[in-house]
Structures are given as structure tokens and as C-alpha cells.
Structure 1
Amino acid sequence: MTQPDELILEMQQGSEKAFSQLYEMYSRAIYSVIHVILRDDEVTEEVLQDVFIKVWKNANSYSVEKGRFYTWLLNIARNTAIDKTRSKSFKNSNKNLSTDNFVYVIGGHNDLNEKTDAIGIQKFVDKLKPLCIKLLDLLYFKGYTQNETAEALETPLGTIKTRARNCIKDLRKLTLQEV
């Protein structure tokens, strides 16, 4: 997907029509990312709306020089979803977990493939080292914090931070080769 610079500029100038078009372009992919973290359709819809409200209110903080619009949007979505999981109301609503959550945790070795395919980076992730795939799955697709990832992989926090940075750098190189 090419970057819609014209629409972004129009949105930054207050065009609701451009904002609506950007919503149509990105909402499905962003919904998928949020849903992976929250695992609840209703809460995911709510967070999706929060994300796009943040995008509208903070449109002028986006700059092409700092990175791609989709990456900026993805970071807002991921951070908003993680913030939601840390909220008291979300924790209280999930005290009685359904078996679906456990099936997800136990199970699907193909989960990462489905998630990355939903946001269009599957072919790039497949080219990464297995350690990078595991790390990105935990940090970006399952919503683990760096501390939680360090515990899950029984690896020092500093090592996780360095590996994550290197894996993202490798992923960035792969995506730039495609452009």
C-alpha cells in the first residue's frame, strides 16, 4: 500500500472527508492488530474508535520525515490497546476468562501467520530469523511488555531490548527493499 500523502495533508488541514477516507483505508488492519491484543470484539471496536479520535486530534504531530503514516497509526493503536489491557475496568471484566483465551495461548502456532497477514507484512516476517519471529510475536502481536517478554523467554531485559531493536531494524530493511 502506498502512502496517501495527499489525504494525510488534507486531514491535517481539517478535512473530515480525507479523515473518513483514511479510516476506510486503515480501519480493518488496525482492528486486527487491536483484536489480537484485546481478544474481545466489543472492546476492540471501542479502542478502534479511540485510536482514530487520537489520530484526528493529533494529526499535526505526524510528520513524513519521522516515518510512514501506517507505522505511526499502528503505534497509536498498539499503545492504546495495551493501555486498555492495563485499565482496572478491563482487568475486572476479564476476571472470569473464557476457554477461548486458553485455547489461544496453548495453541495456534499459526496465529502469528494470520496476524501478520492481516496487516500485510507476512512475507517480510517469514524472512526473519526464528528468534526475531518469536520476539516480534510476543512484543507486537500478543501485546507483551519487554519485561513480560524477558520473563517468557527467560532472557535478560537488556538482551530483549537489543534483540527487539535489531529485529525491527532487519524487518525495516526487508520492507524498504520491497519499495
Structure 2
Amino acid sequence: MNAQPDLLIARMQEGSEVAFNRIYERYQVALHGVIFAIVKNDDVAQEILQDVFIKIWKNADSYDSNSGRFFTWILNIARNASVDYLRSKRHKNSLKNLSADNFVDIIVSNNNLDEETNTLFLKQWVEKLEPMCIKIIDIIFFKGFTFKDGAEELDMPSGTLKTRHRKCLNSLREMMLN
């Protein structure tokens, strides 16, 4: 059964585990790609992904289609969870425990990020967007900038960045769903 997203969302909000499982199947690859691009660690990304889907399940009632798209809502949950992890004591402590050997591995394997993202199909979708959208998604999602910091980086007003960001996400969502 290939149910429409709105029907799946409504059924999930009613408590349907089957609908939730289908939503997981439909969106987990894209969300993992966003999370991985931010935290740059697959084990952590998998853990955060599970936490994100728990939040989606527990907070399904808080999603309102009149307030925005479902994909945007879950993408923001994933992004926020990833940025929260980067700001956490756990992450900061893990950075303190890294040896010099790990830094060599990080530098040498930096290309693995591109390969992993390509594997997850996320990069191929983002690269189809217009250049400004690529920059905006890179700064806000992949690098974890706040809108204020992203606006400074891109030398534009914060409100303009938010508007363009919304349009870029809509374009990305349309491409991925069609």
C-alpha cells in the first residue's frame, strides 16, 4: 500500500504504528543524511535518528498541517536534535578524549562525508537546487548555523534568509516527493 503522506500522518496521529512505520521507511534516509552531515559520525547519527523518530511519534499531535509541511517539521526536529547534540556535554567530552591519531583519520577521511551523503541520496537532491539554495541548506542544516549566524555569513537580513530557506525546503521537498 502506497498511502498518501497526509493520510499516513493522520493515521499516525491517531496512534497507528503501521502508519508510523511507513513514515519511518519514507523519511529515515533523508533525515539520516541531514543528521550525519551535521554530526559527522554514523553511530551518533543512527542514535539521533532513533531519538528523532521517538519525538515524532510522541509529538505527532503537535504537528499541524496549517502551520507548515510535515517534511519541514520533521527536518527541523532532526536538525535541532543534531545541533543539540553538538552543544551537549557528551559531545564536548568526546572531543576532549580524541587522540592526535583521530585527527589524521578525520582529515584523511573527509571525503567519506561526500561519499556517505551521496550514498544516502541527499546530496544529489540538494545539488539540483539553485546555487543560493545550496548555500542556504549547507549553512543552516549541514553546518548547523542559527538563522542569525547564517544571515551574517551570507550577508543578508535574517528575515530574508528565513524566507529563502522556506522556499528552498519547499523546492527540495517537491523534488523528493515527485
Q: TM-score range by the shorter chain?
A: 0.7 to 0.9
Deviation at 1:124, TM superposition (A): 4.9
Deviation at 1:146, TM superposition (A): 3.9
Structure-2 residue corresponding to 1:69: 70
Deviation at 1:175, TM superposition (A): 5.8
Q: CA RMSD in A?
A: 3.4
- Partners in 2 of 1:43 and 1:49 — Cα distance? 10
- Partners in 2 of 1:17 and 1:169 — Cα distance? 30
Change (3 A) 1:115 1:66: farther
Structure-2 residue corresponding to 1:6: 7
> Counterpart of 1:164 in structure 2: which amino acid?
L
Once the two structures are superposed, what CA deviation does each residue of 1:5-60 show, in whole Å capped at 9, x if it has no partner? 11111110111111111111111111111000011111111111110110011001
Q: Sequence identity of aligned pairs in percent?
A: 39
Q: Is the 8 A contact 1:149 1:160 kept in 2?
A: no
Structure-1 residue corresponding to 2:158: 161
Q: Is the 8 A contact 2:127 2:134 kept in 1?
A: no
* Aligned pair partner of 1:98 in 100, 103, 114: 103
* Aligned pair partner of 2:122 in 118, 121, 125: 118
Deviation at 1:128, TM superposition (A): 3.8
Q: Is the 8 A contact 1:36 1:141 kept in 2?
A: yes
Mapping for residues 24-173 of structure 1, pairs under 5 Å: 24-95=25-96, 96=98, 98-102=103-107, 114=118, 117-118=121-122, 121-122=125-126, 124-125=128-129, 127-129=130-132, 132-146=133-147, 148-149=149-150, 153=153, 155=155, 159=156, 161-171=158-168
Find the residue that maps to 2:86 and give its secondary structure: helix
Change (3 A) 1:9 1:120: farther
What TM-score results when the alignment is normalised by the length of structure 1? 0.75
Change (3 A) 1:74 1:175: closer
> Counterpart of 1:88 in structure 2: which amino acid?
K
> Counterpart of 2:77 in structure 1: which amino acid?
I
Change (3 A) 1:138 1:175: closer
Change (3 A) 1:57 1:122: same
- Partners in 2 of 1:150 and 1:59 — Cα distance? 31
Alignment coverage as a number of residue pairs: 169
Q: Is the 8 A contact 2:52 2:77 kept in 1?
A: yes
